[in-house]
Amino acid sequence: RIDPEMMADPGKLREGLKEAADALRGGGVIAFPTETVYGLGADARLTSAVEAVFAAKGRPSDNPLIVHISEVSQLDGLVKQVNPAARKLMDAFWPGPLTVVLPVKPGVLSHRVTAGLDTVGIRMPDHPVALALIEASGCPVAAPSANRSGRPSPTLASHVLEDLAGSIDGIVDGGATGVGLESTVVQVLDDGSVTVLRPGGVTLEQLAQVAGAPVKMDPALMAEAGSGDIPAPRAPGMKYTHYAPQGTLSIVAGESAAEVSDWISRSLQEAEARGERTGVLAFDEHISRYHADCVETLGSLSDLGTAAHRLYAALRRMDEEHIDFILAEACPEDGLGAAIMNRLRKAAGQTVIRLESQAR
Ligand code: TXA
Ligand code: MG
């Protein structure tokens, strides 16, 4: 384990990263920080190493892994071609929380990385430790989030160890990650149109500004429970209930913030009266109105970056506190709000309680 104390000493850091890079090259699996969440890395060319990642996570084998690079020049060896529109997005957002799905070059990456698809998701993370590790390893690094499948993604090294201690070869502890939610996954067609397969750290608005072309969300991502047939999402991973806490989580939305918080307060009281342990995820603006066994604030509604940063740790807290009944305030879906609500909906099994306004 490489810890923050070693990180502070440049000599020790270099030594530690070399050890981690050697382990990757030797077929080991190493957890490392990125600017989004911790990843569980393996040499993307080695099937045995990639299989060890799937095994450690308990991940379904039909869910492909993202390949991480440290230099744009690595792309040529991995993909068939990059259209100009995709190139434009990479220029603007790499290194950063954007994964671009591209046609894979056959015979280079382990077939397990792409889960049999003819495309591969590639990203260059914006984290000095991640970039240094990838560079030192000299390999394309396949890395899903470093959680057990179905658990919230790890934003601290301790989350990784909670889920994976004993089943990985090492961890580089770089402290808390920044964004706190996974990268935005996009597919870019030759005509320049962009489809978001998973919303994340780069927002739709930012993509649209750079692409200068329509940006649409994969319709499967917007579905709610009870809204009829839900189409299959194009990012295979988005079909799984992820991030789900052990208790029952519902999102509460409504036109009036006062009505939403009244309803949440009342429902928490009723759950408490039933003998359940209660939890609430809410914004600073309303947090003082709630009484529950576990009250987690996501920061101010005017600063959704903080909500993204805190969300997964807050969901993990609900399990630590053995909460049975959890309510979460919805947030507006623009900017980072799209990614936050997408993860909340997945954690809630798509259950959104929409209050009809009584005010009209
Ligand atoms: O921020 C992130 O992206 C983090 C850090 C570690 O880089 N990684 C991450 O990986 O979130 P993972 O494996 O947990 O999520 C990868 C997502 C899944 O939803 C998967 O289905 C989708 O990306 N994906 C990967 N390759 C794909 C492909 N070729 N086509 C469509 N979706 C793909
Ligand atoms: Mg994941």
- CA 153 to ligand 2 centroid distance, Å: 6
Distances (CA, A) of 360 to 253, 255, 310, 356: 16, 11, 35, 9
Does ligand 1 have an atom closer than 6 angstroms to the CB of 237?
yes
Q: Are the CB atoms for 222 and 298 separated by under 8 Å?
A: no
Does ligand 1 have an atom closer than 6 angstroms to the CB of 220?
no
Which residue lies with its CA nearest to atom 31 of ligand 1? 235
Q: Is 302 labelled as part of a ligand binding site?
A: no
DSSP state of 105: P
Does ligand 1 have an atom closer than 6 angstroms to the CB of 184?
no
Q: Is 265 labelled as part of a ligand binding site?
A: no
**Prior bond to 95 cis, omega within 30?**
yes
The yes or no reply on domain 241-355 and CATH 3.40.1280.10 is no
DSSP state of 145: B
Does ligand 1 have an atom closer than 6 angstroms to the CB of 16?
no
Q: Is 81 helix (H, G, I), strand (E, B) or coil?
A: coil
User: Hey, which of 126, 185, 240 would you mutate to test ligand 1's pocket, going by the most ligand atoms within 8 Å of its Cβ?
Assistant: 185
Q: How buried is 313 (Cβ within 10 angstroms: 0-12 exposed, 13-18 middle, 19+ buried)?
A: middle
What is the spatial distance between Cα 259 and Cα 248, in angstroms, rounded to a whole number?
Answer: 21
Please count the residues of the chain.
360
Residue with tokens 């850091």: 13
Which tokens in the block code for residue 70?
């440290």
Q: Is 145 labelled as part of a ligand binding site?
A: yes
What's the CATH architecture for 4-211? Alpha-Beta Complex (3.90)
Which residue lies with its CA nearest to atom 12 of ligand 1? 144
Maximum alpha-carbon separation in the chain:
66
- CA 328 to ligand 1 centroid distance, Å: 25
Which residue lies with its CA nearest to atom 21 of ligand 1? 237
Residue ranges of domains in the chain = 4-211, 241-355
Closest CA to 25 of 139, 120, 130: 139
- pTM of structure: 0.95
Which tokens in the block code for residue 210?
């750079």
Q: Is 345 labelled as part of a ligand binding site?
A: no
Give CB contacts under 8 A, 24+ apart, made by 223-229. Answer: 223/350, 224/345, 224/350, 224/351, 224/352, 225/349, 225/350, 225/351, 225/352
Determine which helix (DSSP H) or strand (DSSP E) holds 272, and give its type and residue range.
helix 257-273
- CA 235 to ligand 1 centroid distance, Å: 8
Q: Is 146 labelled as part of a ligand binding site?
A: no
DSSP state of 196: E
Give the number of the ligand closest to the Cα of residue 38: 1
Q: Is 63 labelled as part of a ligand binding site?
A: yes
Which residue lies with its CA nearest to atom 22 of ligand 1? 235
- CA 308 to ligand 1 centroid distance, Å: 18
- CA 102 to ligand 1 centroid distance, Å: 13
Interaxial angle between packed helices 128-137 and 10-25, expressed in degrees from 0 to 180 and rounded to the nearest 10:
50
β partners of residue 123 = 68
DSSP H helices, 145-198, are 157-164
Which residue lies with its CA nearest to atom 33 of ligand 1? 235
Q: Tell me if ipTM is over 0.95.
A: yes
- CA 281 to ligand 1 centroid distance, Å: 26
- Quote the pLDDT of residue 358: 61
Please list the pLDDT of the chain residue by residue as tens digits (360 residues). Answer: 777 777 778 888 889 999 999 999 999 999 999 999 999 999 999 999 999 999 999 999 999 999 999 999 999 999 999 999 999 999 999 999 999 999 999 999 999 999 999 999 999 999 999 999 999 999 999 999 999 998 999 999 999 999 999 999 999 999 999 999 999 999 999 888 999 999 999 999 999 999 988 899 998 887 665 666 667 778 887 776 667 899 999 999 999 999 999 999 999 999 999 999 999 999 999 999 999 999 999 999 999 999 999 999 999 999 999 999 999 999 999 999 999 999 999 999 988 999 987 654
